[in-house]
Structure 1
Amino acid sequence: MTTTPALRALTTAAAALTLAATPTAAHARPDYPGHTTSHYITATGTPDDTDHAHDIGCAAASTGQNGLRILFLGTQEHPDRLRHPGTTAQTTTPRIPIGDTIDIAAAYSAGFTRCNDSDTTTQLALGVNNKNDGRIPGRRAGRQWARIVDTAADRADTDHLTVTGAIDAEPSWSGPAWARAWAAAYTAATDRRLYAANSAGGCPTPGHTSTTCNNGWTLADIHYLATGAAPTVHALPQIYRTDGIQARQWANVSAWGLRHHDQPLRAAGALSQHTACTQRGGCTRTHNTPRQSWTQLRDALDNHAPAPTPRLPYASDMRWR
């Protein structure tokens, strides 16, 4: 059959449309990377702390899953103490010297090294929260945590494990000024990465014109704590809710950052609490699996944030102990 110029033009146009509809490698949607386990550490100041850290480090290496793992150690208190995660200043649970974190990191690293038969690699992020009921200014707390992370890295870094920092910053736990001061001081004092495993409580979702979040925070504060403070800050937001609203909130944060600072969310992945919910219960509609959390975030960023999401390398799931 003879191909007419008109038919050739139609064929060429159809091919162009097909190519345009096919994602290029640079803009392909990332695939789920598998998940690691992160831990709320309820340290007691006894040898059990390092024994436990060694055991969970060994268990992490044995999975063969590369990725980010967070140890959340709780709240910084004046002068140099840590209080258990999930508690207030009135709790009678044990406090530990903040320097015990260094021993815990070293023990985790030793366990990870001993059981690492498959060249598994990890970033071990030592984390605290932004509760400001510990009588310590935000700037001093951020500098203090940077020193802890750097000192722990000196002892615990190996060819397969790198120590970094983490913050669980939530609007309900402090005013934005305290949290901003913490992040500014941490990033000024160390080049070690800071993983922001934060919430965007009360923030608007795409399509809303409001920029206000809970407790006097704004989208500007949320973006600063998760990306804007420094190039070393990477977001691993809490995507707990099964209805996907948290993922959409973070997509809106990313869109705000691009619009106002040419800086979308520097997203590293998503944090879930499925195992922690199984252990303790009380998680009404906030028990996403790691895959659900990660997928919700990827899809929300793709659907609601103007910039593409070329990489989303981590998913991690919280557990107690």
Structure 2
Amino acid sequence: MPFSRIVPAAALLAAALTVPTAAAHAAPTPGPAAPAPPAATVSRYVPLTGSSSANLGRAAGCAEGESGRSGVRVLFFGTQESGNRLRQPGTWASTTTPRVADTVASGYAQQWAAGFAECRGSNTAILALGVNNKSDGGVGGAAAGARWAALVSSADSAISAAGVTVTAAVDAEPGWSNPAWARGWLDAFTDANSRTLYAVNSADGCPTYGSTSTTCNNGWTVADVHYVSTGAASTVRAIPQIYRTDGIQARQWSRISSWGARGSAGPVRFAGAFSQRTACQQRGCTNTDNTPAAAWTQLYNELNAHSETAVDSLPYSTDVRWP
């Protein structure tokens, strides 16, 4: 979420909107016009309240099945806490919202998949089960990553819905943990689970293309953001948050990819763009309400304005909403 934060979800943090003053960017070289963006799928923040909330997943899955659109859908279940519990999205340790066993997320995913299979035509879904990197849940990054790897594997074993492929997602943001916690999560997950991991990350405070700075917010660097978005393993694919209407986030991601391309880490493996237009309409936000098409086009054009970051395709576009 930051750059993201939606009011009133504990979230529209000023720090998330920070871009270093030294982060001047080179003017991109005009390239061919971007192709039409892919049809956007619907991703969701899922504030689970108990075992019965899993039943709500069937209606959500059916709606996406009826959409006729194929592609990635991310279900974000919030923050991992000690005792294999989940805390709702958009909250912190001090909030009193319900905590539930993380197996409830598996139940929700099973219902979502059943609803999608029941209502779909020929379209397919990559269902990515996600959590964030908030480190205030009393569990270390490595333990949290290993636990999520096991839960995703268990959910996949329980789902046999036609047209649905189960995988994982992480929303890793500099403002939510130190870089070591996030790196530990990625390392543990990818060591234990060979499924694709979609990194729906932010680049809070990172420089834009053309800057020589490598500093991001909260002690993170460009290297850290690259690592949790691509570098941790070959199975990691980035679908970054491109919320801001001024295009700064796309320029930050081209800087991160350029850093990797010009070094030994390699460019970021981009799979698409993530927007929050619907969530903004539901809860309100300012200048972070790109449409899915605008978010995708900003990222595609910026990456293809520079030879070392150019992409042949950017297959996915997904827009997040509250349930």
Q: 1:230 aligned to 2:230?
A: no
- Distance between the aligned counterparts of 2:35 and 2:165, measured in 1? 24
- Distance between the aligned counterparts of 2:297 and 2:317, measured in 1? 10
Match of 1:280 among 283, 288, 295: 283
- Distance between the aligned counterparts of 1:114 and 1:158, measured in 2? 9
Match of 1:135 among 134, 138, 141: 138
Match of 1:92 among 81, 96, 109: 96
Structure 2, unpaired ranges of 5+:
1-30
What letter matches 1:187 in structure 2? T
Indicate the larger mover: 180-189 or 29-38.
29-38
Aligned pairs for 1:196-215 within 5 A: 196-215=199-218
Structure showing the higher helix proportion among its residues: 1
- Equivalent position of 2:252 in the other structure: 249
- Equivalent position of 2:62 in the other structure: 58
Match of 1:33 among 33, 38, 57: 38
TM-score (norm 2): 0.88
In the TM superposition, what whole-angstrom CA distance separates every residue of 1:220-261 from its partner, at most 9, and x where no partner exists? Answer: 000000000001000000000000000000011110111112
Match of 1:189 among 166, 176, 192: 192
Is contact 2:48–2:105 with CA below 8 Å preserved after alignment?
no
- Distance between the aligned counterparts of 2:242 and 2:310, measured in 1? 19
- Equivalent position of 2:308 in the other structure: 306
- Equivalent position of 1:19 in the other structure: none
1:162 is paired with a residue whose SS is: strand
Q: 1:318 aligned to 2:320?
A: yes
1:303 is paired with a residue whose SS is: coil
* Runs of 4+ in structure 1 over 4 Å off: none
- Equivalent position of 1:5 in the other structure: none
In the TM superposition, what is the alpha-carbon distance from 1:109 to its structure 2 partner? Answer: 0.7
Q: Give the % identical residues.
A: 54
In the TM superposition, what is the alpha-carbon distance from 1:306 to its structure 2 partner? Answer: 1.4
Is contact 1:270–1:297 with CA below 8 Å preserved after alignment?
yes
- Equivalent position of 2:168 in the other structure: 165
Q: 1:259 aligned to 2:243?
A: no
In the TM superposition, what is the alpha-carbon distance from 1:304 to its structure 2 partner? Answer: 3.5
TM-score (norm 1): 0.89
- Distance between the aligned counterparts of 1:46 and 1:135, measured in 2? 23
- Distance between the aligned counterparts of 2:223 and 2:261, measured in 1? 11
Indicate the larger mover: 225-234 or 306-315.
306-315
Structure with max Cα Rg: 1
What letter matches 1:110 in structure 2? A
In the TM superposition, what whole-angstrom CA distance separates every residue of 1:109-129 from its partner, at most 9, and x where no partner exists? Answer: 11011111x211010000000
- Distance between the aligned counterparts of 1:68 and 1:307, measured in 2? 23
- Equivalent position of 2:11 in the other structure: none
Is contact 1:251–1:305 with CA below 8 Å preserved after alignment?
no
2:64 is paired with a residue whose SS is: helix
Is contact 1:248–1:304 with CA below 8 Å preserved after alignment?
no
**Residues 300/225 of structure 1: CA separation in 2 closer, same or farther (3 Å cut):** same
Q: CA RMSD in A?
A: 1.5
In the TM superposition, what is the alpha-carbon distance from 1:30 to its structure 2 partner? Answer: 4.8
Structure with the greater relative contact order (CA < 8 A, sep ≥ 6): 1 or 2? 2
In the TM superposition, what whole-angstrom CA distance separates every residue of 1:47-83 from its partner, at most 9, and x where no partner exists? Answer: 2x12210000000000000000000000000011000
Is contact 1:252–1:305 with CA below 8 Å preserved after alignment?
no
What letter matches 2:224 in structure 1? D
**Residues 50/262 of structure 1: CA separation in 2 closer, same or farther (3 Å cut):** closer
- Distance between the aligned counterparts of 1:293 and 1:157, measured in 2? 33
- Distance between the aligned counterparts of 2:93 and 2:103, measured in 1? 20
